[in-house]
């Protein structure tokens, strides 16, 4: 099944029935990941394509026995199960699941890049990530998540009352 236990951090986002899809997505993640921490949920303005509803974003940390590419395949299957259709880049979606970190792994292939290549540019990723891994050091940039958060714009991002269970 895998090559041992790996520490993983996953970002979750949705702007189509977002509360339902975040909860359902987390339930699916539990099938392959032992969740050890969940962030607050944040309402964030759309990024890239702005003609759409706000997003709800969160992050979870956990352990998995799946290798990185197999985990990615399961995440993509979960997105499809939740009705995600890739039409407009950065457009509306039922569920978006991204591998942010897989331990200290650095990987760049056609299928997967880890750490996520743009996480350090996105407040909507870094803010929930900071909730669960503020002192984690980005294995490529050599900076903590909290240091990366200090360098991004957080305008319009606010916590909401939704709690995802750890």
Helical (H) or strand (E) element with 69:
helix 68-81
Active site residue 77: no
Active site residue 118: no
Pick the catalytic residue: 98, 108, 118, 147? 98
Pick the catalytic residue: 43, 96, 122, 131? 96
Active site residue 96: yes
Q: Report residue 153 as tokens.
A: 């714009």
Task: Quote the CA–CA distance of 82 and 76 in Å, as a whole number.
Answer: 10
Active site residue 122: no
142, β-bridge pairs: none
Phi first, then psi, for residue 147 (nearest 5°) are -65, -40
Asked if 141 and 148 touch (Cβ cutoff 8 Å), the reply is: yes
Residue keyed to tokens 């916590």: 159
Pick the catalytic residue: 31, 43, 77, 93? 93
Pick the catalytic residue: 84, 118, 122, 153? 84
Residues 71-91: b if buried by 16+ CB within 10 A, e if exposed: bbebbeebbeebebeeeeeee
Catalytic residues: 84, 93, 96, 98
């Amino acid at each position: 099944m895998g090559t041992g236990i790996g520490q993983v951090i996953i970002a979750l986002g949705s702007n189509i029935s977002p509360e339902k899809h975040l909860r359902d997505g987390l339930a699916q993640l539990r099938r392959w990941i032992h969740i050890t921490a969940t962030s607050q949920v944040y309402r964030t303005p759309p990024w890239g394509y702005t003609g759409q509803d706000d997003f709800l974003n969160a992050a979870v940390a956990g352990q998995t026995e799946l290798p990185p590419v197999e985990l990615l395949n399961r995440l993509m299957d979960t997105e499809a199960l939740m009705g995600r259709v890739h039409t407009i880049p950065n457009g509306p979606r039922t569920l978006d699941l991204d591998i942010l970190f897989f331990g200290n792994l650095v990987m760049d292939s056609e299928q997967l890049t880890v750490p996520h290549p743009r996480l350090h540019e996105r407040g909507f990723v870094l803010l929930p990530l900071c909730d669960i891994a503020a002192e984690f050091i980005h294995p490529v940039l050599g900076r903590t998540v909290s240091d990366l958060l200090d360098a991004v714009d957080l305008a319009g991002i606010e916590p909401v009352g939704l709690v995802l269970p750890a």
